[in-house]
Amino acid sequence: METIFSIEYTPEKRDYVRASRILSRKSPGFVALAAMVVFIILASGVALIFPGLAGETLQGLAPFLLAAGFTYLLYIGFLIPRQLNKAYESKAHMRLPRRLSFFESHLMMAIGDQSVNLPWENLTRVFNSGNDFILIFQVDEQVIVFIPGRALESQAALENLQKYIY
């Protein structure tokens, strides 16, 4: 079988953070939870600033709800990226070069000296966030392929990719 086109790149620290944020923003559950947390923070803030608008119970809970909401935002905004950056630095396989070879029947993903064939019929979801793409395949287990925009060196590479994933 002949390769139709290939994409090669070496992951950077920020790629993992961007991929996690793309997945989060595209997840309805995460978006609903984030909206609820923002609402709780706003309601708690209003209850603390204007005590007459809230009942005694809400006034008593407001500081705790506000702290919990900000803790959640801190975790999502700073701690998860920090954990991903530490993992990138400590796990060599996260820094290995990737080669994605596109065939008519499948995508071959090679990481270092290991590879896996992912048939197109197992492609279950595609996320596009600007120039970055995430492909999710469901084989025996879920395989997530992140393609950073910088790996698509030309408009032709982008068009080739879009032809296969859409």
Q: Which residue ranges make up each domain of the chain?
A: 5-11+96-165, 14-92
- Interval 61-88 mean pLDDT: 93
> pLDDT tier at 142 (50, 70, 90 boundaries)?
very high
Q: Of the candidates 57, 1, 65, which has an alpha carbon nearest to the alpha carbon of residue 37?
A: 65
In the predicted model, is pLDDT for residue 75 greater than 80?
yes
In the predicted model, is pLDDT for residue 70 greater than 90?
yes
What average pLDDT is seen over the chain? 91
In the predicted model, is pLDDT for residue 53 greater than 80?
no
In the predicted model, is pLDDT for residue 164 greater than 80?
no
> Could you tell me the pTM of the whole model?
0.81
In the predicted model, is pLDDT for residue 19 greater than 80?
yes
pLDDT of residue 165: 84
The CATH label, of 1.10.10.10, 3.30.360.10, 3.20.20.80, 2.30.29.30, for the domain at 5-11+96-165 is 2.30.29.30
Question: In whole angstroms, what is the distance from residue 93 CA to residue 95 CA?
Answer: 5
